[in-house]
Structure 1
């Protein structure tokens, strides 16, 4: 079962992003657009969290070593990723998610994390392309900027407790 949990978490996470397309109409009708978005977002976050934890429990197969500059890269990229996600609508969210995935891909050179962050990066880039095609505009406002700072600070400070790894270089 060494890889079993990771494969199951990955399949459920990916399935949760494919299957709802078939049920979106009835769910929006039943829950309302806001209810659907909140429910689906919470489900996605919970499944992403499980997937991240499962990737950490998968057997460690090193593809490249971790160097100190890689953690610096993540610590520089994450405030930018959160800021872009906070002010850019759907395209910004996907751009921030892509930056998050790319930085973590570089910093985590084991097989399970390369699969995890590589797939999430590809998914985010696909979503970014769709968002840009729709002409999504960035809307930086002071409340969104303040929210971005608070979210980044929470992610940074809670990372050791929630993920089990310190983001400090």
Structure 2
């Protein structure tokens, strides 16, 4: 299938972020706000997961080599990314997403992953700009910090099982 799965997954992921903007009101009316947010979040995560796996299965076209320091960079950035997402509202979520995408962009120097993380970085930066215009409300609580630590630990330890690549240098 070569690049076909990656292109299809990318189109589905991007489409899922364009189409709901046109149908959000009727979906919220039908599902309720909470139902819409939960459903849309689960769909987005599933499509993102498929997109990440499809990028890993795409033909490997190296643009730059992977060096050990690149994995260290990801391991240093990810706790900050998860913390930003946990305490910063929508702008923090987008900042965390941008940190995640930029660190993974550096660490994965093949064409499919550069397309994947480059587009996700651009999307996150756009969302961050929108979020910053609305104002940033930090929600710094010990419970959010604890959740951030647990999420980071889960991402780190489950990465080999879920993604198929160890995050350890």
Deviations 1:119-139 (A, max 9, x none): 000000000000000013111
Partner of 2:116 in structure 1? Answer: 116
Partner of 1:126 in structure 2? Answer: 126
Separation in 1, partners of 2:31, 2:89 = 22
SS for the counterpart of 1:19 is helix
Separation in 2, partners of 1:143, 1:34 = 22
How far apart are 1:165 and its partner, in Å? 0.1
Unaligned runs of 5+ residues in structure 1 are none
Length-normalised TM-score, structure 2 = 0.99
Unaligned runs of 5+ residues in structure 2 are none
Separation in 2, partners of 1:138, 1:31 = 29
Deviations 1:95-117 (A, max 9, x none): 00000000000000000000000
Length-normalised TM-score, structure 1 = 0.99
Partner of 2:140 in structure 1? Answer: 140
Partner of 2:31 in structure 1? Answer: 31
Query: What does 1:82-101 correspond to in 2, within 5 Å?
Result: 82-101=82-101
Partner of 2:160 in structure 1? Answer: 160
Separation in 1, partners of 2:145, 2:32 = 28
Count of matched residue positions in the alignment of Structure 1 and Structure 2:
169
The answer as to 2:45 corresponding to 1:45 is: yes
Deviant stretches of 4+, over 4 Å: none
Separation in 1, partners of 2:131, 2:35 = 22
Partner of 1:102 in structure 2? Answer: 102
Separation in 2, partners of 1:49, 1:57 = 13
Separation in 2, partners of 1:34, 1:141 = 23
